[in-house]
């Protein structure tokens, strides 16, 4: 089985943020050495390749460190906001259009969000299975992530921000509430409702 990994396009922002913190002295080399293996430090010192897969555990360690240094309040809220910003960058880059988001018009809100989130998650992770429940409900639906044991909570919350952005975008700008839970170690459920 392949090592659970994240694509370089998604990994890149945490890599860049950590490098900036390193350069401006907010993170000391001794902190990095205490938290990361020599192989992970080598990854941090390497150029990011958009098409390469990076181990999710390495990404988690880096993201946790960035969140610890950057979050002004609750780390979960910071991670959700970070996921929202990542989704905005993908929209600005035209990725949603390439994945057929415009072609989903005419489908129910949950089906449109599901199609987009499933396409993006398949490009970002080499593990997990994403599906939607209650996609025909005009007021809300659930996205279920299976095989999610390695989708650590740092990833769970950034994905929550991403899903919230997609649900807001494809819900014609309606305000959206989203929560997530991990009912079993390998299952995550996002509940999305119009507010």
CA gap 11, 86 in Å, rounded: 11
Tokens of 42: 């080598």
Instruction: Note down the domain range covering 57.
Output: 5-70
Residue with tokens 């490098």, as numbered in its chain? 19
Residues 50 and 91 placed together within one structural domain of the fold:
no
Alpha helices (runs of H) in the chain, residue ranges in sequence order: 8-23, 29-35, 38-45, 56-70, 75-92, 95-98, 109-124, 153-170
Residue with tokens 């599906």, as numbered in its chain? 131
Q: Single out the residue in 70, 96, 117 at which a domain terminates.
A: 70
Residues 58 and 113 placed together within one structural domain of the fold:
no
Residues 49 and 113 placed together within one structural domain of the fold:
no
CA gap 55, 48 in Å, rounded: 13
pTM for this model (two decimals): 0.88
- Distance set, CA 131 to CA 13, 48, 120, 147 (Å): 26, 30, 12, 12
Residues 147 and 108 placed together within one structural domain of the fold:
yes
Residues 182 and 138 placed together within one structural domain of the fold:
yes
Please say whether the beta carbons of 157 and 179 come within 8 A.
no
Residue 176: strand pairing partners: 194
Reading the chain (195 residues) residue by residue, the pLDDT tens digits are: 589 999 998 899 999 999 999 999 999 999 999 999 999 999 999 999 999 999 999 999 999 999 999 999 999 999 999 999 988 887 887 765 654 555 556 678 888 888 888 888 888 999 999 988 887 888 899 999 999 999 999 999 999 999 999 888 888 777 899 999 999 999 999 999 988
Residues 134 and 186 placed together within one structural domain of the fold:
yes
Specify the CATH number for the domain of residue 110.
3.90.1520.10
How far is C-alpha 55 from the chain's CA centre? 14
What total of structural domains would you count in the chain? 2
């Amino acid at each position: 089985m392949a090592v659970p990994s994240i694509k370089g396009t998604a990994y890149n922002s945490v890599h860049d943020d950590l490098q900036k913190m390193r350069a401006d002295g907010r993170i000391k080399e001794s902190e990095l050495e205490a938290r990361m293996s020599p192989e992970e430090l080598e990854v941090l010192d390497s150029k990011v390749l958009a098409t390469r897969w990076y181990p999710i555990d390495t990404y988690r360690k880096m993201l946790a460190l960035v969140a610890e240094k950057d979050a002004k309040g609750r780390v979960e809220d910071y991670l959700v906001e970070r996921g929202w910003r990542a989704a905005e960058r993908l929209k600005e880059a035209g990725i949603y259009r390439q994945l057929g988001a415009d072609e989903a018009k005419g489908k129910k809100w949950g089906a449109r969000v599901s199609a987009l989130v499933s396409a993006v998650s398949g490009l970002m992770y080499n593990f997990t299975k994403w599906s939607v429940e209650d996609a025909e409900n005009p007021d809300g639906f659930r996205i279920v992530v299976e095989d999610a044991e390695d989708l650590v909570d740092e990833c769970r919350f950034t994905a929550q921000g991403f899903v919230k952005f997609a649900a807001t975008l494809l819900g014609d700008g309606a305000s959206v509430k989203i929560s997530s839970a991990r009912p079993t170690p390998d299952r995550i459920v996002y509940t999305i409702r119009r507010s």
